[in-house]
Structure 1
Amino acid sequence: MARAAAVTSTTPRPGEPDPLAATNRSGAVLSRLQLLVTRKLDGLLQGDYAGLLPGPGSEAGESREYRPGDDVRRMDWPVTARTTTPHVRRTVADRELETWLAVDLSASLDFGTGQWLKRDVVIAAAAAITHLTVRGGNRIGAVVGSGGDVPAPRRGRRQPPPVGPGRLVRLPARSGRKEAQGMLRAIAGTEIRPGRGDLGALIDMLNRPPRRRGVAVVISDFLAPPAQWARPLRKLRVRQDLLAIEVVDPRELELPDVGVLPVIDPETGELHEVQTADPGLRHRYAAAAAAQRAEISAALRAAGAAHLRLRTDRDWLLDMVRFVAAQRHARTRGTTR
């Protein structure tokens, strides 16, 4: 399916709310939630999440025979009764969580026909994840991709620009709300560049060097071919709890009947005029869009990622709250994602 979008201004619409400010106002709601972390961590500092190694903590670990000097308050009486030998229960150390965001701000995100531009929803999602994770010494960092450096071609030129890594920026993981707010300001201030970015290269930045166990969140529209990003995503899932946030605009799913509609590919600059009054064309467009989204969902499931879809014409905060609540409900019932 062609990555075409209706012509839209890259500047904020008059009176349109600032997504970062809106997310800050939603902090009271998000602070009551906590992102589900199922993988044990190997951090170094005391935190709120189960670690890999024994140590002072709240989660029960393995039992071992009692040795002089052990705390008698940790006696494992059921094991002691079965073996007739005194045993103590070891606990697993609580560790801090390290979260990394892969934020796609390529040219295809600079588009929107709903309440928000897609890039606004991306920034809002990054801010929401920050509110959900930055507490108790937890650290959060980000890698940001802002498209390529290929100039847009003139009208009539058909050859697409070569796919390249574009501009990739790494924001180191730090703890503290002040540092997290600085990271969000840097993301919000990122300039979108023309040309195609490489989502696979962006995700691969989280694989090199290998990260400690934690949470990795990829925020994108995932319009690049899955062959480009599926393998790095599967590799990332080996050590990380993985969340994929897909940002969608309604005009990417179906075309309205508005007559002749000028559309432009924001990554290549190609301009076309589409006759949307043709019902056959609208049907083929919707079918191709549905097939594309199904392929994206299948690739994300194959990678083992939790999948959250946010739309520019819906309340992104409500969708995120429902997603986190559903994940926690499924976990408490003993089911998987």
Structure 2
Amino acid sequence: MPPEAVSRIARLEILARNVVEGFLSGLHRSPYFGQSIEFVQHREYVPGDDIRRIDWKVWSKTDKYYIKQYEEETNLRTTLLVDLSESMQFGSGKLSKYEFACQIAASLSYLLLRQQDAVGMVTFDAGIRSRVPSSSKQNHLQGILTALDAQAPAKKTDMGRILGQIADEQSRRGLIVLVSDLFADRAGLLKGLKLLRTRGHDVMVFHVLDDAELDFNYVGTTKFEGMEEAGDLICDPRSLREGYLAAMQKFLEDMRHSCARQMIDYQTIRTSEHLDAVLRSYLTHRLGMRNTA
């Protein structure tokens, strides 16, 4: 592996570790998540549970009843789906959408492996570009980071077909996390997400967008270069801003409502945001899975 690739992977690993450890350190000081990260080992007692599984040590400290959960009950199988289509190249700031998606995937992977959960990854554009099989081994992070670094966004995407393929292949139920700008055929995308839910998977969508895509704060005559076979456009962006922002808002609302109807967790993520927002959303979802189990 070239030295520059080794350096990039090492930086991504350090970033993931720092983000996750810093986030968890703050989480332990916050009452928001109650038992904080320990939730993967306990759940609150509900009538009908076997009282022999109550953790009396926890009761003595909290005066609340918690049930011990064993490894096969708590370990989660997560598959990260990372969009590698050409539109993910775009970035008006320090990071492109794909670079930010890599940070999301790295941080979530580090968190999952830290909790001894199994994580796998698929990158895709029009087809599947790479696969990293699911594993809970601590050294598994290197395989995920290496796969992320080896890719460069290109081509269009056929997200409906990709999600359908994942649904067919994933016979064991788990959590599917899609990290994408969702610039794809809307009907195919929603059909694919619905199919994943129909097959029993929990689904989270991190909708990654650049600030410029959300705010459209361009001034002066500007050339917009089309991606994924779209043509170029030279214009005064002020004449387009109102219509563009209305269309973008409708796009976001449609995705939010469509995901809500399928009980899919959806969150718009700006590339300028701190990754804490992603981790907090993930843990909130995990708590919800525990409480409805």
The answer on whether the counterparts of 2:132 and 2:143 sit within 8 Å (CA) in structure 1 is no
- The aligned runs of 1:1-337 (5 Å cut-off) are 21-31=14-24, 74=52, 94-95=71-72, 96-135=75-114, 137-145=116-124, 147=125, 165-193=126-154, 195-238=155-198, 239-268=200-229, 270-276=231-237, 278=238, 280-315=239-274, 317-324=275-282, 327=285
Q: Distance between the aligned counterparts of 2:53 and 2:252, measured in 1?
A: 54
Aligned residues: 257
SS of alignment partner, residue 176 of structure 1: coil
Percent identity, aligned pairs only?
23
Look up the equivalent residue of 2:93 and give its one-letter code: G
Q: Distance between the aligned counterparts of 1:291 and 1:30, measured in 2?
A: 33
Q: Which runs of 5+ in 1 are unaligned?
A: 1-17, 37-47, 51-56, 65-72, 77-89, 148-164
Instruction: Determine the structure 1 residue equivalent to 2:7.
Output: none
- Select the structure that is richer in strand: 1
Q: Distance between the aligned counterparts of 1:206 and 1:216, measured in 2?
A: 9
- Select the structure that is richer in helix: 2
SS of alignment partner, residue 167 of structure 2: coil
Distance 1:75 1:119, change over 3 A: closer
The answer on whether the counterparts of 1:143 and 1:205 sit within 8 Å (CA) in structure 2 is no
Q: Distance between the aligned counterparts of 1:21 and 1:253, measured in 2?
A: 29
Look up the equivalent residue of 1:237 and give its one-letter code: R
Distance 1:325 1:172, change over 3 A: closer
Alignment TM-score, normalising by the size of structure 1: 0.65
Q: Distance between the aligned counterparts of 1:138 and 1:75, measured in 2?
A: 22
Distance 1:103 1:325, change over 3 A: closer
| Bigger Rg, which one | 1
Look up the equivalent residue of 1:220 and give its one-letter code: S
Distance 1:208 1:331, change over 3 A: closer
Q: Distance between the aligned counterparts of 1:21 and 1:257, measured in 2?
A: 34
Look up the equivalent residue of 2:244 and give its one-letter code: Y
SS of alignment partner, residue 156 of structure 2: coil
Distance 1:329 1:212, change over 3 A: closer
Distance 1:101 1:94, change over 3 A: same
Look up the equivalent residue of 2:212 and give its one-letter code: R
**1:43-98 superposed Cα distances (whole Å, 9 cap, x missing partner):** xxxxx569xxxxxx99789689xxxxxxxx9499xxxxxxxxxxxxx997541321
Look up the equivalent residue of 2:108 and give its one-letter code: I
Q: Which of 1 and 2 has higher RCO (CA within 8 Å, sep 6+)? A: 1
**Cα RMSD over matched residues?**
3.5
